[in-house]
Structure 1
Amino acid sequence: MLTYFIADLHLTQERADITDCFLSFLRNEAPKAEKLYILGDFFEFWVGDDDDHPFVLNIANELKKLSAIGTELFFIVGNRDFLIGKKYAKKCGMTLLPDVQVINLYGTKTVIMHGDSLCIDDIEYQKFRKKSRSWWWSKGIQCLPLWLRKKMARDYRAKSAMKKNDLTPEIMDVTQSEVVKELEDNDCQLMIHGHTHRPAIHQLEANGKPATRIVLGDWYEQGAWLKFTPDGYELLSTSFK
């Protein structure tokens, strides 16, 4: 029995090295798993399921092949691709999960998420997150022409990159108290998330007992995933070829 977790691939046709690494993972590693969880920021940006560019359709086809041979696929949206909906998920053969999901991971009750909601010290982003996840904002954006949505996404990416230069590492990282709150609200001792691009295994305390927070790695400079079995877990990576 084997489960994989990935996050923060930021797939884009501009980064063929990331795409090639991911497709290699799908074809050679992922078929070994009974389940694959994708925890957000799968794409660099997503402006709506009506985007039928060959790049995104090819990714969907490759995921569908994995689903067809028996690996269950699950997806939690991130801050870059929160507009991914049921239409694209169906093309991929994957199940959309809510922002925060509790799963039974080989007998261990585990809370999984993208992780951006844990970074509550970034007040400006949290305000945008609340607005952008509202039904009216999402509906309004997707009424705009596809070309305009793509332009807005590129502009936002540029603005976000500039903003990061003004933020301290502490603000961009998770807030420990929020981690503990999520664990305790969900009665869990294990959390798995991405978003921060700081792969690590953290030990802490929640519910008056030892707890663990596993942070997934990003795919900017290497492929990265979490391998989880009934006997344990391991953060793994592979270099781009």
Structure 2
Amino acid sequence: MSVLFISDLHLEAERPDITRAFLHFLRSRASQAEALYILGDFFEAWIGDDGMDGFQHSIARALREVADGGTRIYLMHGNRDFLIGKAFCREAGCTLLRDPSVIALNGEKVLLMHGDSLCTLDAGYMKLRRWLRNPVSLFILRNLPLSKRRQLARKLRKESRAQTRMKASEIVDVTPEEVLKVMRQHGVRTLIHGHTHRPAVHELQLDGQRARRIVLGDWDRQGWALQADANGLEQAPFGLDAEPSDH
């Protein structure tokens, strides 16, 4: 059986094409897989489990249907949806993964991350990330009125888009030295992450050994999924308008 990895769908009601493609992906591929890993930015924004709307509940129900069919589903926080909590995971039948996490895949230890913590040259973002992920800050955010959280989410999204357009491409990409450092810390030679929206396989040298960094694609103009099976690892895109065929 296969194991699937996706990230950066940025699901929102305003993008029904992505939602339709994802629901078909669940029915056609994820339902046949041993496990599905969603490595962050699953939703475009998340203000807290207590603020779930009808759209988000519908996604949870779709995940639960696949989970009840026997597929293990794992979800990792991204920079857009780090407030996803236990209530959503219970409803969706998925397990919340820490970032980073190490799993066994085809007999190899593999490191999974969202990827934003690897972008250490982006000093402004890293400072904001440290503040937002601080337990005290998280407590404050979760206890703000929903209206305030919605307002803050809109503000952060607007600022993030503006700043990303202004920053040099190497600043918003991962820092190569940080990649090697994190892989060395976890004793792995394969890293899978999302966040940068630059799908690729990067061949690396880590302490004299071959290593690789696999970047998952974002779902915007097309969808992306990385599949692990007996033949190895393969990432491929598919159209959002036409229903993607089974892999």
| TM-score for the superposition, normalised by structure 1 | 0.98
Aligned residue in 1 for 2:66: 66
Partner of 1:139: 139
Match of 2:49 in 1: 49
- The Cα offsets for residues 168-202 of structure 1, whole Å up to 9 and x where unpaired, read as 00001000001101110001000000000000001
Q: 1:217-232, aligned counterparts within 5 Å?
A: 217-232=217-232
Q: Which residue identity lines up with residue 118 of structure 1 in the other structure?
A: L
Query: Aligned residue for 1:111?
Result: 111
Match runs of 1:12-91 below 5 Å: 12-91=12-91
1:208 matched residue in structure 2: 208
4+ runs of 1 displaced by more than 2 Å? none
- 1:52 positional shift: 2.9
- Partners of 2:111 and 2:151 lie apart in 1 by 35
SS in 2 for 1:79: coil
2:222 aligned partner, one-letter code = Q
Q: Distance in 1 between matches of 2:154 and 2:178?
A: 30
- Are 2:180 and 1:180 equivalent residues in the alignment? yes
Instruction: Give the whole-Å Cα distance in 1 for the aligned partners of 2:7 and 2:35.
Output: 14
Identity %: 46
Kindly report which structure 2 residues correspond to 1:155-170, keeping only aligned pairs within 5 A, or say none.
155-170=155-170
Partner of 1:238: 238
Q: CA deviation at 1:135?
A: 0.9
Cα offset for 1:160?
1.1
State the aligned residue count. Answer: 241
Does structure 2 retain, via aligned residues, the 8 Å contact 1:103–1:111?
yes
C-alpha distance in structure 2 between counterparts of 1:160 and 1:176, whole Å: 22
Partner Cα distance (1:142, 1:212) in 2: 37
Q: CA deviation at 1:240?
A: 1.6
Range 221-230 or range 1-10, more displaced: 221-230
Q: Which 10-residue stretch deviates more, 67-76 or 230-239?
A: 230-239
**What CA distance in whole angstroms lies between the structure 2 residues aligned with 1:240 and 1:98?**
29
What CA distance in whole angstroms lies between the structure 1 residues aligned with 2:147 and 2:29? 36
- Counterpart CA distance in 2 for 1:219 and 1:42 is 10
In structure 1, what is the equivalent of residue 126 of structure 2? Answer: 126
The aligned residue for residue 245 of structure 2 is: none
Q: 2:244 matched to which residue of 1?
A: none
RMSD of aligned Cα (Å): 0.8
Q: Which runs of 5+ in 1 are unaligned?
A: none
TM-score by length of 2: 0.96
Would the aligned equivalents of 1:39 and 1:77 in 2 still touch at CA under 8 Å? yes
Q: 1:207: how far off?
A: 3.4
Q: Is the contact between residue 61 and residue 92 of structure 1 (CA under 8 Å) also seen in structure 2?
A: yes
